[in-house]
């Protein structure tokens, strides 16, 4: 740490959609000293060029080659899949106190074969996976402190696991009858969205894609098994919306006999009673992403349907904040014993 007892950090990938949000929230955090803002383009520019919300004087955009790794406490990596693992492998032994929070998928999947099958990238740091933990903040808590590499979850999986895992743990829902319909703003695809999505009227239409083998399916299955010791079968269908940010997941489940919607809601209320960023709405509350945009909150609503023992769970969050940069900072707060909501006020 620096002489003023602040964490010395670097943000690598500072000018992407997630990176900019990350720098914005970090710039307001009282325990942070930002030493490096790195990117491959726009070297020498001020970060305020990309986001006028950032008022604090910060280092100009520089190359990763300028980093003095031995002086840092923590590195945030907001990079395309496959890049963080290479950087972490090169720097892991340069500074034993250095920790990493990776916002890509590089350390989300424990099995390198499953990672390759889904991302078509051969993992370059297999021996470091044991030093990493997948961390949805509300589900990890104190365990996070035992690891140097913190893997930030995907935005869709965060919105899905937060409501599902407590219910599966308690055995309240049928594990073979789960349908998940998730809709996201296009910022989730990053600045290269036009290379990833080529459908007609990209910014003026909705688009459903990849229902059979979306990359997040293996991530969700892995983490549900780790957290509940139970295997689940579900259908997951993502949609791209013509809006910039926000996610709404609609999760259709069949409850066990004599389990009603109120029991489901009360279970989530109890599970998240000490969680600052989870809001369980009143029963049958209509829900959209509007309330959570530009916040680190996740709102969850339990709604009855016209069929007995069939309910729908709505889960809304901002894909760039609670789904990415905000959760990364929340994980940092847990890692260093800061108040969980520090930097968000």
Positions annotated as catalytic residues are 155
Do the Cβ atoms of 303 and 3 come closer than 8 Å?
Answer: no
Tokens 């995907």 locate to 154
Residues 153, 83: Cα–Cα separation, whole Å: 16
Residues 42, 236: Cα–Cα separation, whole Å: 38
Do the Cβ atoms of 247 and 316 come closer than 8 Å?
Answer: yes
Q: Alpha helices, DSSP H only, in 65-174? A: 83-91, 112-119, 137-140, 155-169
Residue 221: which of 130, 329, 114, 78 has the closest Cα? 114
Q: Exposed e or buried b for every residue in 36-65, given b needs 16+ CB within 10 A? A: bbbbeeeeeeebeebeeebeeebbebbebe
Structure tokens at 337: 């014993």
């Amino acid at each position: 740490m620096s002489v003023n007892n602040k964490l010395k950090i670097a943000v690598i990938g500072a000018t992407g959609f997630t990176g900019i949000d990350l720098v914005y929230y970090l710039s307001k955090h009282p325990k942070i000293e930002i030493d490096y803002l790195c990117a491959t383009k726009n070297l020498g520019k001020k970060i305020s060029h990309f986001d006028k919300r950032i008022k604090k004087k910060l280092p100009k955009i520089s190359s990763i080659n300028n980093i003095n790794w031995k002086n840092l406490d923590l590195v945030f990596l907001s990079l395309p899949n496959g890049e963080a693992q290479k950087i972490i492998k090169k720097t892991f032994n340069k500074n034993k106190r250095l920790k990493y929070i990776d916002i890509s998928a590089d350390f989300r999947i424990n099995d390198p074969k499953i990672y390759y099958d889904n991302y078509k990238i051969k993992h370059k740091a297999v021996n470091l996976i044991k030093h990493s933990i997948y961390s949805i903040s509300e589900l990890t808590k104190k365990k996070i402190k035992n690891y140097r590499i913190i893997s930030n979850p995907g935005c869709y999986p965060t919105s899905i696991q937060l409501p599902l895992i407590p219910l599966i743990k308690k055995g309240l829902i049928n594990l073979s009858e789960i349908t998940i319909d998730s809709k996201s703003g296009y910022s989730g695809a990053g600045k290269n969205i036009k290379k990833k999505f080529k459908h007609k009227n990209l910014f003026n239409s909705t688009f459903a894609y990849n229902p059979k083998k979306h990359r997040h399916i293996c991530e969700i299955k892995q983490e549900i098994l780790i957290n509940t010791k139970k295997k689940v079968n579900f259908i997951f269908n993502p949609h791209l919306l013509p809006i910039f940010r926000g996610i709404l997941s609609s999760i259709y489940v069949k409850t066990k006999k004599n389990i009603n919607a109120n029991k489901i809601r009360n279970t989530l209320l109890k599970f998240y009673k000490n969680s600052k960023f989870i809001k369980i709405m009143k029963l049958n509350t209509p829900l959209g992403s509007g309330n959570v945009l530009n916040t680190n909150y996740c709102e969850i609503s339990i709604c009855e349907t016209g069929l007995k023992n069939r309910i729908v769970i709505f889960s809304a969050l901002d894909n760039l904040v609670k789904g990415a940069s905000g959760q990364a900072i929340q994980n940092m707060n847990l890692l260093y014993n800061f108040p969980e909501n520090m930097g968000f006020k």
